[in-house]
């Protein structure tokens, strides 16, 4: 997975090192070259010096090809701008922003942006969100060539439609549980953080389903 981290302070540095250790491809963005240099000569990722919410800087960082953007600068306003641009302009599937002022949480939620806190727990939480691993087998159908699985929708898939998670003949979402109610979705149903999905999955497509949900194989 390719991840762009905007803001290489304590949190950005810790997250970059953790993700590199987990095998991610990381691009670090910061307007302070000294902060980028502090990542060390052994850092294998790319470094881009510039203002993180500048579109040209994000394009130099490869945002058009990235899988996720994490904005953890010191300013909530700057993080909102980066996250919004990543989501609305470049359609990055996974966007996370650091949040200092909890009163701004509603603003992030309206923009479908996942937030994390500015501390060491935030580093662990972000890594967890990028490597979500929860999947339960519910029922084997017939000879076992098809299995019904249950999976929690992680925050990073918030706003995804059922159509985007459907693979004809391989993966079909057959039920969604939300707020203690379960319903049969349409292809246009929009999933939200906290939903539980039930899917009919061909055993030969189990790996594909896990990849859709960012679950380690």
**Residue 28 predicted with pLDDT over 80:** yes
Structure confidence at residue 149 (pLDDT): 87
Rounded (10°) angle between helices 120-130 and 10-21 = 40
Alpha helices (runs of H) in the chain, residue ranges in sequence order: 10-21, 33-37, 55-60, 76-84, 105-110, 120-130, 206-212
pTM above 0.75, yes or no: no
Count CB atoms within 10 A of the CB of residue 130. Answer: 22
What is the pLDDT averaged over residues 186-197? 90
Give the torsion through C-alpha atoms of 82, 88, 92, 94, to 10 deg: 70
Count CB atoms within 10 A of the CB of residue 171. Answer: 18
Q: pLDDT band at residue 216, thresholds of 50, 70 and 90? A: low
Alpha-carbon distance of 74 to 84, in angstroms, equals 16
Helix, coil or strand: residue 199: strand
Alpha-carbon distance of 13 to 11, in angstroms, equals 5
**Residue 119 predicted with pLDDT over 70:** no
Alpha-carbon distance of 125 to 118, in angstroms, equals 11
Percentage above 90 pLDDT, the chain: 47
By the 8 A CB rule, do 201 and 147 touch? Answer: yes
Distance of CA 214 to the CA centre of its chain: 8
pLDDT tens-place string over residues 64-85: 999 899 999 989 889 999 999 9
By the 8 A CB rule, do 49 and 6 touch? Answer: no
H/E stretch holding 114: strand 114-116
Residues comprising the chain, all counted: 217
Structure confidence at residue 120 (pLDDT): 54
Helix, coil or strand: residue 158: coil
Lowest mean pLDDT among 5-9, 102-106, 118-122: 118-122
Alpha-carbon distance of 9 to 189, in angstroms, equals 39
């Amino acid at each position: 997975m390719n991840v762009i981290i905007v803001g290489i302070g304590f949190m950005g540095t810790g997250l970059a090192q953790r993700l590199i250790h987990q095998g991610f491809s990381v691009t670090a963005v910061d307007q302070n070259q000294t902060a980028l240099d502090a990542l060390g000569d052994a850092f294998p990722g790319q470094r881009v010096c510039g203002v993180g919410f500048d579109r040209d800087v994000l394009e130099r960082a490869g945002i058009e090809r990235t899988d996720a953007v994490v904005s953890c600068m010191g300013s909530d306003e700057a993080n909102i701008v980066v996250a919004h641009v990543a989501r609305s302009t470049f359609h990055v599937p996974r966007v996370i922003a650091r949040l200092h002022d909890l009163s701004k949480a509603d603003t992030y939620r309206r923009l479908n942006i996942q937030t994390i806190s500015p501390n060491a727990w935030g580093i662990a939480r972000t890594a967890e969100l990028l490597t979500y691993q929860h999947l339960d087998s519910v029922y084997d159908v017939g000879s076992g060539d098809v299995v019904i699985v249950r999976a929690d929708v992680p925050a990073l898939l918030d706003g995804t439609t059922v159509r985007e998670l459907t693979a004809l003949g391989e993966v079909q979402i057959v039920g969604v549980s939300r707020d203690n109610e379960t319903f049969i979705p349409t292809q246009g149903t929009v999933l939200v953080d906290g939903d539980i999905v039930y899917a009919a999955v061909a055993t030969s497509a189990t790996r594909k389903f896990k990849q859709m949900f960012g679950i380690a194989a």
